[in-house]
Chain A
Amino acid sequence: DVKVTQSSRYLVKRTGEKVFLECVQDMDHENMFWYRQDPGLGLRLIYFSYDVKMKEKGDIPEGYSVSREKKERFSLILESASTNQTSMYLCASRQVGLITYEQYFGPGTRLTVT
């Protein structure tokens, strides 16, 4: 089974702090994604990565950056956390070469910025 793990289930940070969210997948998938999920808004794509060191902005990249130095690891960085970044953050991975929209999601990190 594909396993996607996220470094924390719950995180509380202060406004202005730099925040790192880590995601690791164990299935050698090329594609990795970061989403945020908010009530009434569904999941929204922040960034995704085609492969190591390759990234592309999603629908809401403002205030975020990403890093992918190794294939299995994809990091989301909040340069200066703000209260409007309080949300559930979900990481996912996908295998290329298949005609499928199947992404494998991690359990999520609930981030609270105070």
Chain B
Amino acid sequence: LAKTTQPISMDSYEGQEVNITCSHNNIATNDYITWYQQFPSQGPRFIIQGYKTKVTNEVASLFIPADRKSSTLSLPRVSLSDTAVYYCLVGRRYNFNKFYFGSGTKLNVKP
């Protein structure tokens, strides 16, 4: 499984758009990219997954360039409640039970 690299932490202000980039240089053809969110004292929560180009849901957007060696999670107009750790994961297409959780990015949203 491809390892992922993310910034350790990021700061933002309420109302701003936040983009968190993840590097996965060794991603394989069959790998999917997934993002999770974790609040303090809670288990991680699935946000979004994608294979290529752009995916959007009610919470976030995921941008994946053509070479797929990186991906960007975009959170529109963050609020204080978006303060959390965000994990980028890469998982093998036919093995949905195993993926690599890195250390994540701690996003701190300020008023």
A-to-B contact residues, CB < 8 Å: 4, 31, 33, 35, 40-45, 48, 50, 58, 90-92, 94, 98-108
Docked-complex contact B96 and A100, CB < 8 angstroms: yes
Per-position contact with A for B2-41: 1 when CB-CB < 8 Å, else 0?
A: 0000000000000000000000000000001010000001
Docked-complex contact B46 and A101, CB < 8 angstroms: yes
Chain B stretch 23-80: residues in CB contact (< 8 A) with chain A: 32, 34, 41-46, 49
Docked-complex contact A108 and B43, CB < 8 angstroms: yes
CA distance A105 to B36 in the complex (A): 11
Docked-complex contact B46 and A102, CB < 8 angstroms: yes
B-to-A contact residues, CB < 8 Å: 32, 34, 41-46, 49, 87, 89, 91, 93, 96-104
Known contacts A42-B101, A91-B43, A108-B41, then 20 further A-B pairs from the complex at CB < 8 Å, ordered by chain A residue: A4-B43, A42-B87, A42-B100, A42-B102, A42-B103, A42-B104, A43-B87, A90-B43, A90-B44, A100-B49, A101-B32, A101-B34, A101-B49, A101-B96, A101-B99, A102-B34, A102-B46, A105-B43, A105-B44, A108-B42
Contact partner of A92 among B34, B43, B96, B102, CB < 8 A?
Answer: B43
Docked-complex contact A94 and B43, CB < 8 angstroms: no
Q: How near does chain B come to A32, taking the closest CB pair, in angstroms? A: 10
CA distance A48 to B99 in the complex (A): 12
CA distance A31 to B98 in the complex (A): 11
Q: List residues of chain A with CB within 8 A of the CB of B49.
A: 100-102
Docked-complex contact A43 and B97, CB < 8 angstroms: no
| 27 A-B pairs in the complex with CB atoms less than 8 angstroms apart | A40-B103, A41-B103, A42-B100, A42-B104, A43-B44, A45-B98, A50-B97, A90-B44, A94-B97, A98-B96, A99-B93, A99-B96, A100-B49, A101-B32, A101-B34, A101-B89, A101-B91, A101-B96, A102-B34, A102-B46, A102-B49, A103-B46, A105-B44, A106-B43, A108-B41, A108-B42, A108-B43
